[in-house]
Amino acid sequence: MTTNQDMIGRDEINDLEAILSVTNTDTDAVMHAVRTDLDAIFTWDYERSRPALIKLYEKAKTSQWNVTTDLDWSTPVDQEQVALNNMAREDVKFFGDDMDLTGTPFAKWTENEWVQLAIEGQNWTLSQFMHGEQGALICTARIVETVPWIDAKYYAATQVMDEARHVEVFAKYLDDKLSGHYPINAHLRLLLDDILADNRWDMTYLGMQIMVEGLALAAFGFMHQMTTEPLLKQLLRYVMSDEARHVAFGVLSLQEYYKELSDAEMKDRQEFAFEAAVRMRDRFLQQEVWDRMGVNVKDALTLVLQDESRAMFQNILFSKIVPNCKKLGLLERNDAWLRKRFTELGVIQFEDWVDTGEEYAMLDEVAKDRAAAGA
Ligand SMILES: [Fe+2]
Ligand SMILES: [Fe+2]
């Protein structure tokens, strides 16, 4: 039997010591290489035989937008004011009001430190979005090479362009409007490395389109709904239109492929989904931010993990992943192995939320804007 130790490198999911022992040691490096042995697949079957992917591809071709011209970069951004607005919201506070901070390093914090924490948190979050988007760019370029179906190659090519735009837009926002970059979070990097080190074409989809992009779609949605900053709101709206298609691409492709897989093959996929879910939870602890704020990271995170309102917010991030895994049959196979793991993680309650295979057209804000403008 595969143990937690085999899958995620620790027995206890919430073992803080083990979580914090994962750090990047080469934060000054400009490049990072992941070695893989894989086949680039040509197909001579050009027949368009997958209507759902054809429809998605047509949609992608008409929903392209331009970072340089479709967003108003002259919008002034006052990061401190944005931080204050965010802090006024109950659901995005670092600690809920019911947390007793007496005797902790935070008891002495003034508003200055809380504002600084919110600013660093924003720099960190947008930096991780940017790094994750580069992961998506590389994974999707990989899918163009490895997927054996022509309709999927066509669609994946449009996603490569989408992801280039996403890296571009977050990098520009960080440079022009925010106050600092963070290197990639160690847990996010570990996950991207694991996805890219696997040479089975469908694993790239599962790791990226279902898990990473499923989480991104929920995270962007939350930030879009929460932020009062109009430029960020608009750019997230555009990015989400694309991400919904990307997740749909994963669902529509894997739905077909998983029907052929044996129980043992499905177990590999279930374990991979679980590993990815844990890595993504680990990354949201923002360990680098606490470090930059000069507090003891372990002390800070011990408190964060006790905070129930924060746990609820983190779970919401799985609201797209769980229904999509259900649609793919990943929850029930092998004696409901993944259902049990998701129950332990506290995220199974989302299983009957709408899956993205159905939802993507509703999220296409670019098409709505074009229609409204009569273009
Ligand atoms: Fe993206
Ligand atoms: Fe994407």
Model confidence pLDDT, tens digit, residues 63-89: 999 999 999 999 999 999 999 988 887
User: How many whole angstroms from 137 Cα to the centroid of ligand 2?
Assistant: 8
3-state secondary structure of 54: helix
Q: What is the dihedral of CA 96, 100, 103, 108, to 10 degrees?
A: 50
User: Nearest bound ligand to CA 210?
Assistant: 2
Give the Å distance between the CA of 364 and the centre of ligand 2: 13
Q: What is the reported pLDDT for 93?
A: 64
CA of 139 to the centre of ligand 2 (A): 10
Residue owning tokens 């372990």:
298
Kindly report the length of the chain: 375
Predicted confidence at residue 362, as pLDDT, reads 75
Instruction: Say how many Å lie between the CA of residue 90 and the centre of ligand 2.
Output: 29
- Model pLDDT, residue 94: 67
Q: What is the pLDDT of residue 15?
A: 86
Residue 162 alpha carbon to ligand 2 centre in Å: 7
CB atoms within 10 A of CB 166: 27
pLDDT value of residue 121: 93
Residues of the chain with pLDDT under 70: 90-94, 96, 374-375
Q: Model's pTM, two decimal places?
A: 0.94
Helices (H) and strands (E) in the chain, counts: 18, 0
Interval between CA 333 and ligand 1 midpoint (Å) = 30
Q: Which of 357, 333, 177 is nearest to 256 (CA)?
A: 357
- Position 375 scores a pLDDT of 54
297 CA to centre of ligand 1 in angstroms = 30
- Rounded to whole angstroms, the Cα distance separating 116 from 189 reads 26
- Nearest ligand to the CA atom of 158: 2
| Residue 217 confidence (pLDDT) | 92
Cα 13 to the center of its chain, rounded Å: 20
pLDDT value of residue 90: 64
Rounded distance between C-alpha atoms, residue 33 and residue 94, angstroms: 35
